[in-house]
Amino acid sequence: MNRYVRGLSDDQNANQALGGFKRFPTWMWRNTVVLEFIDWLRDYNSSLPQEATKSRLLRSRLVSLYTSIESVLGYLDKIDPAAAKRARYRYSCFEHFAEDTQAYGYAANFGITESCERDVIEQLIELRRRAADYASRDGRVAQDEFFFAEQNARLVLNAERYYRQCFAAGVESWNWRDRHMAETLDAWLFI
Protein backbone atom coordinates (compact mmCIF):
# COMPACT_ATOMS: atom_id res chain seq x y z
CA MET A 1 0.00 0.00 0.00
CA ASN A 2 2.81 2.40 0.84
CA ARG A 3 4.46 1.66 -2.49
CA TYR A 4 1.12 2.04 -4.28
CA VAL A 5 0.49 5.56 -2.93
CA ARG A 6 4.03 6.50 -3.97
CA GLY A 7 3.57 5.06 -7.48
CA LEU A 8 6.10 2.28 -6.94
CA SER A 9 3.94 -0.87 -7.06
CA ASP A 10 2.37 -2.95 -9.81
CA ASP A 11 -1.06 -2.78 -8.15
CA GLN A 12 -3.70 -1.40 -10.51
CA ASN A 13 -5.89 0.16 -7.81
CA ALA A 14 -6.26 0.72 -4.07
CA ASN A 15 -8.21 -2.51 -3.61
CA GLN A 16 -5.28 -4.51 -5.00
CA ALA A 17 -2.87 -2.53 -2.81
CA LEU A 18 -4.89 -3.62 0.23
CA GLY A 19 -5.06 -7.21 -1.05
CA GLY A 20 -2.64 -8.55 1.55
CA PHE A 21 -4.72 -7.16 4.41
CA LYS A 22 -7.03 -10.01 5.39
CA ARG A 23 -7.05 -10.13 9.18
CA PHE A 24 -9.20 -8.37 11.78
CA PRO A 25 -10.38 -5.65 11.60
CA THR A 26 -10.80 -5.73 7.82
CA TRP A 27 -14.08 -3.83 8.05
CA MET A 28 -12.17 -0.95 9.61
CA TRP A 29 -9.58 -0.63 6.85
CA ARG A 30 -10.97 -2.29 3.73
CA ASN A 31 -13.88 0.03 3.13
CA THR A 32 -14.78 2.68 0.57
CA VAL A 33 -13.53 5.60 2.66
CA VAL A 34 -10.05 4.11 3.05
CA LEU A 35 -9.95 3.03 -0.61
CA GLU A 36 -10.87 6.55 -1.71
CA PHE A 37 -8.24 8.04 0.60
CA ILE A 38 -5.54 5.73 -0.76
CA ASP A 39 -6.46 6.65 -4.34
CA TRP A 40 -6.52 10.34 -3.41
CA LEU A 41 -3.07 10.05 -1.79
CA ARG A 42 -1.68 8.34 -4.88
CA ASP A 43 -3.11 11.09 -7.10
CA TYR A 44 -1.68 13.74 -4.78
CA ASN A 45 1.77 12.14 -4.86
CA SER A 46 1.56 11.82 -8.65
CA SER A 47 0.91 15.56 -8.94
CA LEU A 48 4.16 16.40 -7.12
CA PRO A 49 7.39 17.12 -8.99
CA GLN A 50 9.56 14.01 -9.56
CA GLU A 51 12.18 15.06 -6.97
CA ALA A 52 9.61 15.97 -4.28
CA THR A 53 9.24 13.86 -1.16
CA LYS A 54 6.14 11.71 -1.52
CA SER A 55 3.69 11.11 1.32
CA ARG A 56 3.81 7.60 2.75
CA LEU A 57 1.16 5.43 4.37
CA LEU A 58 2.47 2.85 6.81
CA ARG A 59 0.59 0.18 8.75
CA SER A 60 1.71 -1.77 11.76
CA ARG A 61 0.09 -4.34 14.04
CA LEU A 62 0.64 -3.09 17.56
CA VAL A 63 0.27 -6.47 19.24
CA SER A 64 0.88 -9.31 16.84
CA LEU A 65 3.78 -11.27 18.19
CA TYR A 66 4.20 -13.96 15.56
CA THR A 67 3.40 -11.76 12.57
CA SER A 68 5.99 -9.27 13.78
CA ILE A 69 8.57 -12.03 14.31
CA GLU A 70 7.95 -13.23 10.74
CA SER A 71 8.41 -9.68 9.45
CA VAL A 72 11.74 -9.20 11.23
CA LEU A 73 13.03 -12.59 10.07
CA GLY A 74 11.88 -12.00 6.49
CA TYR A 75 13.70 -8.68 6.38
CA LEU A 76 16.90 -10.09 7.87
CA ASP A 77 16.80 -13.13 5.57
CA LYS A 78 17.03 -10.75 2.62
CA ILE A 79 19.56 -8.29 3.97
CA ASP A 80 21.74 -10.15 6.51
CA PRO A 81 21.37 -13.95 6.74
CA ALA A 82 23.81 -14.20 9.68
CA ALA A 83 21.71 -11.71 11.64
CA ALA A 84 18.57 -13.66 10.65
CA LYS A 85 20.11 -16.79 12.18
CA ARG A 86 20.78 -14.94 15.45
CA ALA A 87 17.24 -13.54 15.43
CA ARG A 88 15.76 -17.01 14.90
CA TYR A 89 17.72 -18.25 17.90
CA ARG A 90 16.49 -15.36 20.05
CA TYR A 91 12.87 -15.71 18.97
CA SER A 92 12.95 -19.51 19.35
CA CYS A 93 12.06 -19.10 23.02
CA PHE A 94 8.44 -18.67 21.83
CA GLU A 95 8.39 -21.94 19.85
CA HIS A 96 7.25 -24.06 22.79
CA PHE A 97 3.87 -22.32 22.73
CA ALA A 98 2.81 -23.05 19.13
CA GLU A 99 1.65 -19.45 18.60
CA ASP A 100 -0.51 -19.58 21.75
CA THR A 101 0.38 -16.18 23.19
CA GLN A 102 -1.87 -16.64 26.21
CA ALA A 103 -0.04 -19.87 27.14
CA TYR A 104 3.27 -18.01 26.84
CA GLY A 105 2.02 -15.12 29.00
CA TYR A 106 0.72 -17.48 31.67
CA ALA A 107 3.86 -19.65 31.74
CA ALA A 108 6.28 -16.71 31.77
CA ASN A 109 4.35 -14.75 34.38
CA PHE A 110 4.07 -17.68 36.81
CA GLY A 111 7.67 -18.84 36.37
CA ILE A 112 6.79 -22.04 34.52
CA THR A 113 9.16 -20.95 31.77
CA GLU A 114 11.72 -18.20 31.50
CA SER A 115 10.56 -14.95 29.95
CA CYS A 116 11.69 -14.18 26.39
CA GLU A 117 12.08 -10.51 27.26
CA ARG A 118 15.88 -10.49 27.38
CA ASP A 119 16.10 -12.19 23.96
CA VAL A 120 13.71 -9.81 22.24
CA ILE A 121 15.49 -6.80 23.76
CA GLU A 122 18.82 -8.11 22.48
CA GLN A 123 17.30 -8.53 19.02
CA LEU A 124 15.94 -4.99 18.95
CA ILE A 125 19.28 -3.58 20.14
CA GLU A 126 21.21 -5.46 17.46
CA LEU A 127 18.83 -4.27 14.76
CA ARG A 128 19.16 -0.67 15.92
CA ARG A 129 22.95 -0.92 16.04
CA ARG A 130 22.94 -1.95 12.39
CA ALA A 131 20.43 0.75 11.39
CA ALA A 132 22.76 2.99 9.39
CA ASP A 133 24.20 0.07 7.43
CA TYR A 134 20.84 -1.57 6.69
CA ALA A 135 18.91 1.61 5.89
CA SER A 136 21.53 2.94 3.47
CA ARG A 137 21.85 -0.12 1.24
CA ASP A 138 19.36 0.80 -1.48
CA GLY A 139 17.95 4.27 -1.03
CA ARG A 140 14.38 4.97 0.06
CA VAL A 141 13.10 1.40 -0.35
CA ALA A 142 15.81 0.15 2.03
CA GLN A 143 14.91 2.88 4.52
CA ASP A 144 11.24 1.89 4.42
CA GLU A 145 12.04 -1.81 4.79
CA PHE A 146 14.34 -1.10 7.73
CA PHE A 147 11.66 1.09 9.31
CA PHE A 148 9.16 -1.78 9.11
CA ALA A 149 11.66 -4.29 10.49
CA GLU A 150 12.61 -2.03 13.39
CA GLN A 151 8.97 -1.32 14.22
CA ASN A 152 8.19 -5.03 14.16
CA ALA A 153 11.16 -5.83 16.42
CA ARG A 154 9.85 -3.18 18.82
CA LEU A 155 6.36 -4.67 18.56
CA VAL A 156 7.69 -8.13 19.44
CA LEU A 157 9.05 -6.63 22.65
CA ASN A 158 5.80 -4.81 23.41
CA ALA A 159 3.70 -7.89 22.66
CA GLU A 160 5.93 -10.09 24.83
CA ARG A 161 5.48 -7.69 27.74
CA TYR A 162 1.77 -7.36 27.08
CA TYR A 163 1.10 -11.11 27.15
CA ARG A 164 3.07 -11.56 30.38
CA GLN A 165 1.32 -8.59 31.97
CA CYS A 166 -2.12 -10.02 31.16
CA PHE A 167 -1.50 -12.64 33.85
CA ALA A 168 0.17 -10.45 36.46
CA ALA A 169 -1.47 -10.79 39.85
CA GLY A 170 -3.72 -8.16 41.36
CA VAL A 171 -6.08 -5.43 40.30
CA GLU A 172 -3.26 -3.18 39.12
CA SER A 173 -2.37 -5.54 36.28
CA TRP A 174 -5.95 -5.57 34.99
CA ASN A 175 -5.99 -1.79 35.03
CA TRP A 176 -2.73 -1.82 33.09
CA ARG A 177 -4.18 -4.27 30.59
CA ASP A 178 -7.36 -2.26 30.13
CA ARG A 179 -5.39 0.96 29.59
CA HIS A 180 -3.32 -0.70 26.90
CA MET A 181 -6.02 -2.65 25.06
CA ALA A 182 -6.15 0.12 22.45
CA GLU A 183 -2.60 -0.89 21.51
CA THR A 184 -3.89 -4.17 20.12
CA LEU A 185 -5.51 -2.40 17.18
CA ASP A 186 -3.80 -1.58 13.93
CA ALA A 187 -2.02 1.73 13.66
CA TRP A 188 -1.61 3.71 10.48
CA LEU A 189 1.09 6.28 10.03
CA PHE A 190 0.59 8.94 7.38
CA ILE A 191 3.95 10.57 6.73
State whether residue 36 is helix, strand or coil: helix
Q: Cβ(149)–Cβ(72) under 8 Å?
A: yes
Lowest mean pLDDT among 4-18, 146-160, 170-184: 170-184
Spatial distance between the Cα atoms of 62 and 170, rounded to a whole number of angstroms: 25
Instruction: Calculate the average pLDDT of the chain.
Output: 78
- Strand residue runs (E) in 31-142: 57-61
100-107 long-range contacts (CB < 8 A, ≥24 apart) are 101/65, 101/66, 101/159, 101/163, 102/163, 102/166, 104/160, 104/163, 104/164, 105/162, 105/163, 105/164, 105/165, 105/166, 105/167, 106/167
Does the pLDDT at position 157 exceed 50?
yes
State the average pLDDT over residues 141-148: 78
**Count of CB atoms within 10 A of residue 159's CB?**
27
Spatial distance between the Cα atoms of 22 and 10, rounded to a whole number of angstroms: 19
Residue 58 pLDDT level (bands cut at 50, 70, 90): low
**What is the residue extent of each domain of the chain?**
2-55, 62-184
Spatial distance between the Cα atoms of 144 and 146, rounded to a whole number of angstroms: 5
Task: Give the per-residue pLDDT at 50.
Answer: 85
Return phi, psi of residue 188, to 5°. -115, 135
